[in-house]
Structure 1
Amino acid sequence: MPSRAVSGDSGFPNSGPPVAVSYVMPVLNEAGYLEAAIASIVGQDHPGDFEIVLAVGPSTDGTADIVDRLVAADHRIRIVENPGMDIPIGLNLAIAASRHPIIVRVDAHTELAPGYTSRAVATLERTGAASLGGVMIATGKPGLQAAVARAYNSRYGLGGGAYHGEQATEGPAESAYMGVMRADALREIGGFDETLRRGEDWELNYRLRQAGHIVWLDPQLRVSYWPRSTLLKLHRQFFATGVWRGELVRRLGARNPLRFFAPPVLLISLVLSLILLPLHLTGVLSGWLGWMLALTYLGPIAYLGLLVVAAVTTPGSLADRIRLMVVLATMHLSWGAGFILGVVRGARDVVDRSRTES
């Protein structure tokens, strides 16, 4: 039955042992981060039983050896093979192998804050939600990764999604970051859509909401996230994400939030400006038509102003602020280019190769 936010009708037993939890995690080339992610799970204070199910792809950086060592050291950690590497398929495999009523998604590039699980389970019980998430707190090593983290945490970075904001308020939500979900609700809607390679969380929560379930944001839940550490990897990630968001627009149309259309509009105005500028400078475009077309420049000018404001209002050195501007532009323009491609021709076989290629 659909979840309802009614006190006393949460789906949890009123007595008996604490609710058991299954953590599911897709893993691919995460040698530098996996152990810290697992440690953040094992260190949770939730009194119920738990298991960790890793959906392991064919890594090339020594991740497999780390996984083997972790499994040998803790019987609560199990693996399922995910040879195709696709995240939704890996998540469904891990969920199918899970044995407990609450599913907690964790990525190998993230770390759960202390008390995360206890708070999440209590919030599920209090609200009757089927899916709930918290706030992403991006963090990075000094240099470019730190700039990427600042961009993620900034209101200028990812388009205003509630779970990226330090000032987020608790309540019903559009989607859930690193969802804590009821296994029975996931089974009811058929789990993650395996035809998607990006945007799978948003689409899953969309179907939950369409089925009458509640999706909830609890900003007291904090997840540390380690973003990409080079501009090339960042470009690949955001281009692929944009392509798959364009694919979702093809599938769902106007049911996508308007904020997703801002980066492609920016990119189109920038390209048009580059085409029109020499025509204006040489006098080919003049008169009323020239003045009308000159309005195209307002988009890039406004965007440059936004980048400057973002840099000026961010603490750090001049180099830090310049890096932030470059990172923001890379994120927005890569996403916009991918979005346009996804809308025009569909996602097809586009994948995020930022984890598999140097």
Structure 2
Amino acid sequence: MNTAWPSVSVIIAARPEQTEIRAVHAAQRLDYPRDRLEILVARGRQPSVQRNAALRVARGDLVYFLDDDSEPLPGNLQRAVTAFARDPQLQVIGGPNLCPEDAPEQEQVFAVVLSSWLAFGPSRARYAPVGPPRYTSEKTLILCNLVARRQTLLDLGGFDETLYPNEENALLDAIQRRGGRLWYDPDFLVYRRPRPDLRRFARMLLTYGRGRAEQFRRLPTAGSALNFVPPLFVLYLGVLLAGAPLGFWSAGGWGRWATGPLGLYAVLLLGHAIQLWRRHPWPRVWRAALLIVAAHCLYGAGFWRGCFTPLRPPGSKTTREVIVESVPLENAEVGA
């Protein structure tokens, strides 16, 4: 057995009935010693619960979390192991998930929105390679492409099962509070398609906003300050709409004061669209620009909802039931 390489457990959350799991086939192609690698599929209906269940039975020194549709580059694990060996204080490494070039046009538009600085600020690094490799915060890391030291996660109790999504963000914050370091590598890539249609994309944005608000309620941090911009924007729009029928904004200076931020927002959006036009065809750009506005509104609305949702772990037997399967490394088909 080659003891020079740390052992690695790949953990993939999947639905109970799912038969085709893209991430499994991609994980079988990882360029890593076979005697130091295992692939675990955790089947269930609540990803935080599923990942915790797999984490408890995993044997690896490191765990590599993939979503069921993540397709990592074959060299990802070797790249991660090199980073961990270089810095003993490093606890987590991650990188972006990119939309495949052969994805349908609608998904390409969604990818432009997700990688937009105006739409998602520093978190756009989750969807596009941004800057050099560097120490980072939870803002740039995403759970569909994340390697961590298993013992560190166990010591912290795993993922908070009252949070979904944003369970990884809360855990990464906790790691940093203990002095652990997080690393962002723009070349540590997985390929993963965005949501396939507008309805599911909108629901995802609402869920992201709700998850961030729930995370902030559970664990307030200064790093979440930027996430208050979309809900405040939604509140601002609501006040404008409510005051318009009453004529509040039609009188002189009050009207200019009230609508000034909206004008600034329009200028920023136009400037950003022109910037995007340098890299994308115009039909894709104007659709993305409209969706950036929708993203701010949907995320903000989801955030307000998350301010009032109950924070409790999943209680139903169906939600907590998890089956963890160990998958053969070569020539394996994953069945139900």
Deviation of residue 279 (structure 1)? 3.9
TM normalised by structure 1 equals: 0.77
Secondary structure of 2:300's aligned partner: helix
| Distance verdict in 2 for CA 1:21–1:198, change over 3 Å | same
- Please give the alpha-carbon distance, in whole angstroms, between the structure 2 residues aligned to 1:22 and 1:309: 45
Partner of 1:323: 287
Q: In the alignment, does 2:29 pair up with 1:38?
A: no
Deviation of residue 165 (structure 1)? 4.6
- The unaligned stretches of length 5 or more in structure 2 are 315-336
Secondary structure of 1:241's aligned partner: helix
Amino acid aligned to 2:240: S
Give CA-to-partner distance per residue, 1:270-296, whole Å, 9 cap, x none: 22222333444xxx5565xx5245423
Partner of 2:38: 51
Deviation of residue 200 (structure 1)? 0.9
Tell me the C-alpha RMSD between the 2 structures. 2.6
Partner of 1:66: none
Deviation of residue 218 (structure 1)? 2.1
Work out whether residues 41 and 112 of structure 1, in 8 Å CA contact, stay in contact via their aligned partners in 2: yes
TM normalised by structure 2 equals: 0.81
Partner of 2:114: 152
Amino acid aligned to 2:55: I
- Please give the alpha-carbon distance, in whole angstroms, between the structure 2 residues aligned to 1:133 and 1:279: 51
Partner of 1:6: none
Partner of 1:24: 11
Match of 1:261 among 228, 234, 259: 228
| Bigger RCO (CA 8 Å, 6+ sep) | 2
Work out whether residues 136 and 222 of structure 1, in 8 Å CA contact, stay in contact via their aligned partners in 2: yes
Deviation of residue 254 (structure 1)? 4.2
**Structure 2 counterparts to residues 73-112 of structure 1, below 5 A:** 82=44, 85-112=45-72
Work out whether residues 243 and 350 of structure 1, in 8 Å CA contact, stay in contact via their aligned partners in 2: no
Work out whether residues 234 and 331 of structure 1, in 8 Å CA contact, stay in contact via their aligned partners in 2: no
Between the two proteins, the alignment pairs up a number of residues equal to 303
Amino acid aligned to 1:170: P
- Please give the alpha-carbon distance, in whole angstroms, between the structure 2 residues aligned to 1:33 and 1:241: 26
- Please give the alpha-carbon distance, in whole angstroms, between the structure 2 residues aligned to 1:179 and 1:255: 23
Q: In the alignment, does 2:261 pair up with 1:299?
A: yes
Amino acid aligned to 2:292: L
**Structure 2 counterparts to residues 3-22 of structure 1, below 5 A:** 16-22=3-9
| Distance verdict in 2 for CA 1:219–1:139, change over 3 Å | same
- Please give the alpha-carbon distance, in whole angstroms, between the structure 1 residues aligned to 2:165 and 2:157: 17
Deviation of residue 330 (structure 1)? 2.6
Match of 1:193 among 160, 165, 168: 160
Amino acid aligned to 1:38: V
- Please give the alpha-carbon distance, in whole angstroms, between the structure 1 residues aligned to 2:21 and 2:258: 46
- Give percent identity, aligned residues only: 24
Deviation of residue 17 (structure 1)? 4.0
Partner of 2:97: 136
| Distance verdict in 2 for CA 1:148–1:33, change over 3 Å | farther
Work out whether residues 163 and 311 of structure 2, in 8 Å CA contact, stay in contact via their aligned partners in 1: no
Partner of 1:116: 76
Deviation of residue 192 (structure 1)? 0.6
- Please give the alpha-carbon distance, in whole angstroms, between the structure 2 residues aligned to 1:39 and 1:32: 12
Partner of 1:239: 206
